[in-house]
Structure 1
Amino acid sequence: MSLRQFRESDPPGELLRHRPWLVWIGSSAMARLPMAMTSLAMVLVGEAGTGSLAVGTQLAGIVNLCSGVFGPPAGRAFDRVELRAAVRLTLAGLAFILLAMLPVVWLGAPLWALYVLSVLLGLAMAGLWGGLRALLLVTVPAAQLRRAHFAESLLVEFAAVVGPALVAVLVMVGRVAAAIIVMAVLSLLAAWGMRRIPALPPASGTRTSLLPPRDVGTVGILVAIVGMGYGLLVAAAPLRMGEYGLDAGATGWFMAALSAGACLGGLAVSVRPVPARRARPVAAALLFGTALLVLPSAVATTGLAYGAALFVAGLGMVPLNGLLATEIESRLGLSRRAEGFSYFGSASVAGGAMGYFAVGALSGWCVPATVSLLSSALFAALAITLTCSHLKSRRPTLAG
C-alpha cells in the first residue's frame, strides 16, 4: 500500500497492513525488552558479582541516570548521522556490553569494573530512547503517525510488564547469566531486523544550545510532571507492602498491575487516537480522570484492592504519554528527530526520579497512603492549569 493511500480516519487495520511498520514494531519490541529488563537484571548482576543487593541497586541507578541525563546529547549525535545505521550500531554495542558482564557474573570482578559497565550500558541506552521513536517519521505515513505514537507508548508499557517477569523466569532457569544472554540476543536480533527499516539521512543544520527548543521544552515540562505523578505511586508501593503483610519483594506484582492498566488504556487510544485539534481539552480531561482514578489506591485496605486500584490508576498513562509524544513530534519536523524525542525520555525519567525523591523526603512525615493523595492533587493541578490555558488561548495544542 502506498503512503498516499493512508488517511488519518483509516481504521487501525490499515496500519497493520503496512509492512515497514510491522518490521519496525517487531524490531522495536526486541530492542525495548532488554531495556525494560535492565533494572532488575543489574540488581541481580550486582548481587552475583559482589554478594550485595545494595550494590546491585546502585548499578541499576547508574544505568537509569546515564540513560536519562545523556539522552538529548546522544539524540543530537544520532541526528548528525544516518539514523537507522546509528540505532543498529548502538544495539550491537549494547549486546557486547551485556556479554562483557558474563565474566563478572561467573568469575567476579572488581567493583569499579561493574560501575564502568553500568555507565557504558546507560550511555548506550541513552540514544536508543529517542532514536527508535524518531524512525517512525520515515516508517509510518504522516496520516498514521498519531496512531503509531500511541502504539509505541503502548509497546513501552507492554515491555515494562513483560521485561521484569522475563528476568524472573530466566533467573529461575539459568540464574542471572541466562537473563544477560537473552538480553544480548534480543538486542542483536533488533539490530538485524532494523536493516529493513527505511533509512533516515542526517538532519540538515545543527543546534548549539544545550537546552531544548522552547516549544519542545514546554511539552517536556508536562511530561516531567506526569512522570512525577506516576513516580509517586511507584515509589510508594514498596512502603505499602507492610500494610498488607507482604514482603517488599512483592512490589513487582503491583507494578505489573499498574502497567497492565496502562496497556489497556493504550489499546483504546491506539485503535482510536486523539485528534490533534482536541489535544489540550482531551489532555485536561485525561488528567482530571487520572486524578480521580488514583484516589482508590489511597484507601485500599487489602493487597487485592490495592492491586486493583493501581490497575485503574494506570489507565491514563499510555494515553497521556502518547498524546505528549505526538505533540513533540508535531514540533520537530525532520531536523530535530532523535534529539527531540530524547528530551521526552529524559523528562519522563526526571519526573519519575522526582517522585522517588519526594517519597523519600516525606517518608518520615506522613503515612505512605498519603502519597496517592499527593499524586492525585498533582494531576488535578496540571489539569486545571491546562483547562485555564485552553480557555484563555483557545488553541488546541498543549504548548500553545
Structure 2
Amino acid sequence: MSESESGQDKTEKPTQKKIDDSRAEGQVARSKELTTFLVTLMGAVGLIMFGGAMAHMLLEVMRDNFSLSRDVLMDPSWMGRMLLKSGNYAILAMLPFMFAMMAAALIGPIMLGGWLFSTKSLMPKFSRMNPMSGIKRMFSMQALTELLKALAKFLVVLIVALVVINNDRDALVAIAHEPLELAVIHSLQIVAWSTLWIVCGLFLIAAVDVPIQLYQANEKLKMTKQEVRDEHKNSEGSPEVKQRIKQLQYEMSHRRMMAAIPEADVIITNPTHFAVALKYDPEKGGAPLLLAKGADLIAFKIREIGAHHQILILESAALARSIYYSTELEEEIPAGLYLAVAQVLAYVFQIRQFHAGRAKRPDPLGDLPIPPDLQRDS
C-alpha cells in the first residue's frame, strides 16, 4: 500500500481527472523489456526474411569497390562518385530491415500505455538534480527491481547463447571452409536463428515486467481519501458555494415570476394551498402560458398581487393542482388541459364583457374536464 507525502495511505482508485492529468504529464506505464523484446524479435525476423537479399547486395558493393581497373585508379574523381553510389546501394539494401526495426521501436511503447506525446515530460525538473533524491532512488525498491531484471536478462541471454552456440558449433566451424559468398549468407542465417532463440528468453522477461509496470503505475496514481474529496470539491465546487448559487438563482426566478403576475389573464386557486397564473395571447397563438405558480405563502402572495392588479381569481382545486404539478414556469400547459383552460378563459372573457356592461353575468363554472393522468390528489 503506497503512502502520500502527508503520511496518509493511498487506498482509493484514481479518478478520471487524475488519470488524464497523469497522461498529460507523460506519466504512463511503459516497459523497456517489452520494447527490447519486440525490437529484437523484429531484428531476427528481418534477418531471416531479408538477410539473403542484403547479403547479395552488399557483396555486389564489395565487388564493385575491390574490382578496380587502371583507368579508375588514375581518376581522382572516382572515389567520390563510387562512395556515393555504394552508400545509396547499401541504404537500399538495408531499407526493408530498417523500416521493420523502426516499426518495432514505435509499436513497443504504444502497446503499453498507448500513443502519447507530452511536452511537459520534456521540461527539465530541478528536483531530479537533488543529490539526496538521487541517492534515495539508488537504494529504492524500484532500483532493486531494475537490478534483478538486469541480472535475469543477463542470465537468460547467457544461457540461451551458450546453448545455441553449442548446437551450432559444427556449422560455425564449417563456415571457415565455405566460399566467401556462401559463408556470408550462412553467417547471417546463424545469427538470425540464434537471435530468434534469444528472443524466446526475452519474452519471459517481458511477460514478467509488463504486469509489474502496470501495477507500479496504478500504485502511483492511487489517491488518499482526502485527495479524492479535494478534487471533487475543486471540480464540482464546494457545497456552500453551490447552495448559495442555487439560492440566488431561486431568488432571481422568484422575482421574475412575481413581476410577471400583473400580465396574467386569470389566477386559479384551490382555494388556499395552490395558485397558478395563466396568460393567453391570441395574436401569438399557441397554448396558454404559465407565468407564476406557488404553494402556501407564495400562493397567498400570488393572490395578493393579482387582487391588487384586479386580475380575476377563480377557485378550481383540481385544475390548480393539475397545472401546478404538470407545468413549469414560462411553459405552455399540456395538451390534456386545453379544454379545461379554454373554458376558464371563455369565462374570463364573459366576466370582462359583463363588467363592461355589454353582456349579462355568466353562470358559474362547473366541473372542468381534467384527464385522469393529469389529476392530482389534494
The reply to whether TM is greater than 0.5 is no
Asked which structure has the greater CA Rg, the reply is: 2
Q: TM-score, normalised by structure 1?
A: 0.25
Q: Under a length normalisation based on structure 2, what TM-score does the superposition of the two structures give? A: 0.26
More helix by share: 1
